Structures are given as C-alpha cells and as structure tokens.
Amino acid sequence: MNSRRDFLQKIAASAITLPFMPLSGWAQAPAPYDGPVLRVAIMGLGSYANRVANAMQSCTKAKLVGVISGTPSKVQDWQGRFGIPAKNCYNYDNFDRIKENQDIDVVYVTTPNALHRDQVIRVAAAGKHVICEKPMALNAKEGEEMIAACKKAKVQLLVGYRMHFEPKTLEVIRMRQNGDFGKVLFFQGQCGFKIGDPTQWRLNKQLAGGGAMMDIGIYAINGSRYMIGEDPIWVTAQETKTDPVKFKEGVDETIQFQLGFPGGAVASCLSTYNMNNLDRFFLNGEKGFAELQPSTGYGPIKGRTHQGELTQPHTTHQTVQMDEMAGILLEGKRPVVAVDGEEALKDLKIIDAIYQAVKTGKKVALTV
C-alpha cells in the first residue's frame, strides 16, 4: 500500500539522484517558435485542400490565411472553420488581385490536374510563390512553361511531394546514401486503388490528363527515383484495360512499366485504378533491402530493412510538409529530396515517355 511516508521517501530518493541526471533526461517544453511564418492561401477547396488545411492547424511555421474558390458557400464555411478574413477570399475571376495583398506569401493549388498550368502561371504573375499539387501538369511541355513563368516572376514553385519529408522514407534514403544496401540493383513500386464514381474528374481525360498514372502511378515513378537515387534513362510500358466504359480513351486503368537507371538498376512498377491493397515499395541492393508497405498512403508508413523494423515516428504528412516548405520558401532551406518544379518536371517527362512506350510498344530512351 502506498502511504504518505512511502511517497515522501520516494521523493527524497529521487531528489538525491537529481544532480546526476543528464539534462536531456528532463521533459523540457520546446521554446516557443518566434521565426517567420508562411502565410498560405489555398485554391480549390476540395477533398485534399481540406486535408491540408486541417493538417496546417498543427503547423508551427505555416498558417492558412486565405482561400480561392468558385463556390461562395465553401468560402463561407472555410472562413468560419479557419478564421479567414473576407479580405483574403478570392474567386477564379478575381484572384489576380492577390498581387495587392501583402498578407499572403504563397498560393497552394489543389484543383484538378488540367487546371494547374494556367492557375500556377496566374499566381506567379501575381507575384506570389506557388505550391502545386501533383501531378504538377499534364505533360512536360506544360511543366516547362510553369517553371519559366515562375522564374520570370521571380517566385518559387514547389510541388506537394509530401513523401519527401516522411521520416521512414528519409531513413531508407539515408541508409542508401550511407551504402547500407550496397550497389542498388532493383526497385519495385506498386501503386493503386480501385476507383469508385465513374463520373469523377479523375476519370475525365480533359481534367485529369490521363488515368491512374497521373494520380497514383506517379508515386511509383517519383519513388523509384528517390529510393534508387538516380533518374531513369529508358522506359518500357504495357497497358491493360478491363473496363473500357469506365476507363475511356486516354484514361489508363492499369499500366505496368519498367525503368532503367544509369547505374544498372531496374525498376518494375504497377499503376492501377482497378486493385486495392497496392501501396508497396521494395528496394534491393547487393548488401541489403528495404521494404515500405504502406509506402505512400497518408500513413503511418510501415517498413523494414535487412537491419530490422523502421521505427521513426509518424507525423501527419501535410503538417510536416507545410512546415518544411515554410523553411524552404522563407529561409532558403534545402530539402533532402527536392520538391521544386524541376523535380516535378522529371516525373512529367517520365510520364510522357511511359504513354509513348504504351502507344508504340517500344523502349523509349529518356533524358530527364
């Protein structure tokens, strides 16, 4: 039984040990952050915008301060939920006026893929930095135009590659850079889910620019590059379509593709809108392996290597992403894996080549 005396004795005993405890043993409240804060406006108040906005509530360095939407009722709802002042609310007709708004640093574009190009170019012309969701554009040509527009306007263009800040992913990258896997020989990226509603924009070529490849296959493309640490030099690809009514001309249902890397590694990847439980990366080298499953979902990401389980803690991806992007945009920080327009352009060039390989049935050489 715990008596008051026991309690006092315990206190006394611990007091004796106090001077010898290392300082790091104390639970210290982190010093309040008093650095610069990135003031963000979100464009396109759909499902992902909501996820980003909610995650940003836990950010230290980024704050949601504005919205751009074509739906007044959504704007009103967001104003109430996130305390956004009326002067920071815009629609698609008048958002060029954001140029005059000194309280917004960056616009985060979370609209359907086909709108990214023009919207990013308009935001850049308004003199604001841009974060654009993936895929950055429908093809490499559009991506190049966006990069050029941002350069001309002297604003930065970042892309929402949230996995580039994910701790288990970064640990695998660190191990690879450290030589723990030896020479990397093989990567497998399996990315897909069974898509529902056939009327959604993701299945509309005009708005999506393609099918599963633009949406989920891009994770395998991007993942192959950050896991292997090189950019591919060739691609081959094969398409399978089981439902040509749901997946119309130009909307890919399932594509298998292979990538060759300059160091000799090959990647074998699957992109699909017709299978669930596909979210797995596997990296193999001469001395070891890494496996992430799930590998790119919202998490927690799980994984192991030949050295054992990966135990890095999970934090909401979009919270970490926005804090890190604040560091990039406001303090010139450099991420371990780039998240800029040039990085996204590489993925677009690979997507172009994959579609070309599907069409021609030939191996396509690549320079990204």
- Decide whether 186 or 193 has the Cβ nearer to ligand NAD: 193
N-terminal to C-terminal alpha carbon distance within the chain: 71
- In angstroms, give the least distance from the CB of 70 to ligand NAD: 6
- Helices 218-228 and 341-360, packing angle to 10 deg: 120
Name beta bridge partners: 365.
Answer: 234
Using CB positions, name the residue nearest to ligand NAD.
46
In the block, which residue shows the tokens 């594509």? 255
- In angstroms, give the least distance from the CB of 272 to ligand NAD: 16
Say whether 304 sits in a helix, a strand or coil: strand
**b/e map 210-219, b = 16+ CB within 10 Å:** bbbbbbbbbb
- In angstroms, give the least distance from the CB of 115 to ligand NAD: 6
Q: Give the catalytic positions in this structure.
A: 134, 219
- Decide whether 58 or 268 has the Cβ nearer to ligand NAD: 58
- In angstroms, give the least distance from the CB of 320 to ligand NAD: 13
- Helices 116-125 and 140-153, packing angle to 10 deg: 10
d(CA 187, CA 269): 8
Contacts with ligand NAD by CB under 6 A lie at: 44-49, 70, 110-113, 115, 133-134, 160, 162, 201, 207, 215
- Decide whether 44 or 303 has the Cβ nearer to ligand NAD: 44
- Decide whether 215 or 252 has the Cβ nearer to ligand NAD: 215
- In angstroms, give the least distance from the CB of 77 to ligand NAD: 12
Strands across the sheet with 308-309, in order? Answer: 308-309, 303-305, 289-292, 278-285, 184-192, 266-272, 254-260, 234-240, 364-365
- Decide whether 116 or 129 has the Cβ nearer to ligand NAD: 116
